[in-house]
């Protein structure tokens, strides 16, 4: 039937035929969502929607844009802890809606790293977000709320298949150099390539006004800021303070691997960094003056462990202690007190030696755990503004 012959039909039928004709010409994907736009599932007893597919999320995101609602993104790999929650609180204070991504990204793990054993705690994470949702709702000082969780599968995030975890593997990558080749990048050559790639994907999917990272992963924040700047991405990178246990250990999802014995010694890195910070506070500015005391402390603490019996001691290896530029992560011989610097380090806690019957070895029987931490050495200007 032609549109010309529609005039002979009653108005209601004419309208129906026109609508049917128009819908039939809509691309299949769009048509499917027009006819089956169902509300996404939610975390029980909350309004927090759960999205696992990109098209559904983009429909929701477009509505926020049309309603002039700003979005803050908190990228995570799940196994949420107080450090993540502090970032979500920051995002809720500054944005109408907060999106929390939960995705264990395979491309930032090396071939022999702990991808398979990385903690996956979906139910616990949802319960934490539920409690936080109530807390944020009860705080009248917040602009927004936790609105959505984006929890895709690897097939969604890597539609052509995940790029290889090999150093020289093929795939679609985002690489940020030289910042991504130093320190953590030198020890874990595929790490920042994987981080930058997955973050670029998340930023393209979520299109947040602001994205939130913790200072504990300070080199990651340097890499992401450079990526946002160099690729002209329309988002602001906000960095929240490192959250710590009472004894100074930086919160990390990997801390669950430590177990009781190694947990007591895991503060070796934070102690070393504080010693270096104290040297800077006394007026030391050269690399040797600042890092020297930190290196001596780690050696002393390791000697103490080797004096213990095998069933009591904890072995660890210092990967690096760094004194680096704030913007490039390049190593410094001297700190310019008008700019400040980044103190950072990495320590590998080795598996427990001579485990005892019933001893708490940590998740997955306590594999080697790599801990990172950092302290910002403040410039004179930064210190005076506090």
The residues, ordered by sequence, that sit 6+ positions from 77 with a Cβ below 8 Å of its Cβ are: 102, 103, 104, 105, 118, 253
Q: Residue 193 and residue 207: Cα distance in Å, rounded?
A: 20
Cβ(163)–Cβ(190) under 8 Å? no
Question: Which pLDDT score, from 0 to 100, does residue 163 have?
Answer: 76
Question: Which pLDDT score, from 0 to 100, does residue 4 have?
Answer: 44
Question: Which pLDDT score, from 0 to 100, does residue 197 have?
Answer: 96
User: What average pLDDT does the structure give for the chain?
Assistant: 90
Q: Residue 254 and residue 119: Cα distance in Å, rounded?
A: 8
Q: Write 153-162 long-range contacts (CB < 8 A, 24+).
A: 153/52, 154/106, 156/52, 156/53, 156/54, 157/103, 157/105, 157/198, 157/201, 158/107, 162/106, 162/107
Q: 231 phi and psi, to 5 degrees?
A: -100, 10
Res. 12: pLDDT tops 80 = no
Q: Is residue 381 very low, low, confident or very high in pLDDT (cuts 50, 70, 90)? A: low
pLDDT tens across 304-325, in order?
999 999 999 999 999 999 999 9
Q: Is residue 168 very low, low, confident or very high in pLDDT (cuts 50, 70, 90)? A: confident
The pTM score is 0.87
Res. 262: pLDDT tops 80 = yes
Q: Residue 80 and residue 100: Cα distance in Å, rounded?
A: 11
Q: Is residue 246 very low, low, confident or very high in pLDDT (cuts 50, 70, 90)? A: very high
Question: Which pLDDT score, from 0 to 100, does residue 32 have?
Answer: 46
State mean pLDDT over 5-10. Answer: 47
Question: Which pLDDT score, from 0 to 100, does residue 37 have?
Answer: 55
State mean pLDDT over 195-212. Answer: 98
Res. 9: pLDDT tops 60 = no
Res. 252: pLDDT tops 70 = yes
Q: What is the CATH number of domain 253-384?
A: 3.30.1300.10
Q: What is the CATH number of domain 3-240?
A: 3.40.50.620
pLDDT tens across 63-117, in order?
999 999 999 999 999 999 999 999 999 999 999 999 999 999 999 998 878 788 8
H-helix segments, the chain = 11-24, 28-35, 54-66, 82-94, 122-137, 154-157, 184-187, 191-206, 218-230, 259-265, 268-281, 287-306, 380-384
Higher pLDDT, residue 119 or 208: 208
What three-state secondary structure class fits 385?
coil
Res. 288: pLDDT tops 80 = yes
Q: Name the range with the highest mean pLDDT among 30-39, 166-175, 289-298.
A: 289-298
pLDDT tens across 120-159, in order?
999 999 999 999 999 999 988 889 999 999 999 999 999 9
Res. 352: pLDDT tops 80 = yes
Supply the residues annotated as catalytic: 84
Least confident of 28-37, 38-47, 204-213, 284-293: 28-37
Question: Which pLDDT score, from 0 to 100, does residue 31 have?
Answer: 42
Q: Residue 91 and residue 96: Cα distance in Å, rounded?
A: 9
Find the distance separating the first CA and the last CA of the chain, reported in whole Å: 75
3-class SS shares of the chain: helix, strand, coil, % to 5: 45, 15, 40
State mean pLDDT over 327-354. Answer: 97
In the chain, domain spans: 3-240, 253-384
**Distances from the Cα of 28 to the Cα of 31, 38, 53, 55, angstroms:** 5, 17, 16, 13
**Distances from the Cα of 286 to the Cα of 93, 282, 290, 327, 375, angstroms:** 40, 12, 6, 19, 17
Least confident of 7-16, 223-232, 328-337: 7-16
């Amino acid at each position: 039937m032609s549109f010309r012959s529609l005039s002979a039909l009653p108005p209601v039928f004419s309208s129906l035929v026109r609508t049917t004709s128009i819908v039939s010409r809509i691309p299949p994907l769009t048509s499917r969502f027009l006819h089956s736009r169902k509300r996404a599932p939610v975390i029980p007893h909350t309004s927090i929607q759960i999205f696992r597919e990109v098209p559904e999320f983009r429909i929701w995101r477009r509505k926020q844009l049309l309603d002039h609602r700003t979005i803050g993104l908190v990228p995570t790999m799940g196994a949420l802890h107080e450090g993540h929650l502090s970032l979500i609180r920051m995002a809720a204070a500054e944005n109408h809606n907060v999106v929390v991504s939960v995705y264990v990204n395979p491309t930032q793990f090396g071939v022999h790293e702990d991808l398979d054993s990385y903690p996956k705690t979906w139910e616990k994470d949802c319960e934490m977000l539920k409690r936080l949702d109530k807390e944020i709702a009860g705080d009248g000082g917040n602009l927004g709320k936790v609105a959505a969780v984006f929890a895709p599968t690897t097939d969604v995030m890597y539609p052509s298949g995940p790029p290889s975890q090999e150093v020289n593997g093929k795939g679609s990558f985002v690489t940020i150099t030289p910042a991504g080749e130093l320190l953590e990048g030198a020890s874990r050559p595929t790490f920042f390539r994987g981080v930058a790639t997955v973050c670029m994907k998340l930023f393209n999917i979520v299109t947040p006004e602001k994205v939130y990272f913790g200072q504990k992963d300070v080199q990651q924040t340097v890499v992401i800021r450079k990526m946002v700047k160099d690729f002209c991405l329309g988002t602001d990178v906000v960095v929240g303070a490192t959250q710590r246990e009472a004894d100074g250990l930086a919160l990390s999802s990997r801390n669950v691997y430590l177990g009781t014995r190694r947990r007591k010694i895991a503060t070796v890195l934070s102690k070393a960094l504080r010693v270096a910070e104290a040297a800077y506070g006394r007026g030391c500015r050269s690399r040797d003056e600042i890092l020297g005391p930190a290196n001596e402390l780690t050696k002393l603490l390791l000697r103490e462990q080797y004096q213990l019996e095998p069933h009591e001691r904890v072995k660890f290896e210092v990967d690096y202690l760094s004194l680096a530029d704030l913007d490039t992560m390049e190593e410094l011989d001297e700190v310019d007190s008008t700019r400040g610097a980044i103190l950072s380090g990495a320590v590998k806690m080795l598996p427990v030696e001579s485990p005892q019957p019933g001893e708490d070895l940590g998740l997955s029987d306590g594999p080697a755990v790599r801990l990172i931490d950092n302290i910002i050495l403040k410039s004179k200007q930064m210190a005076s503004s506090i």
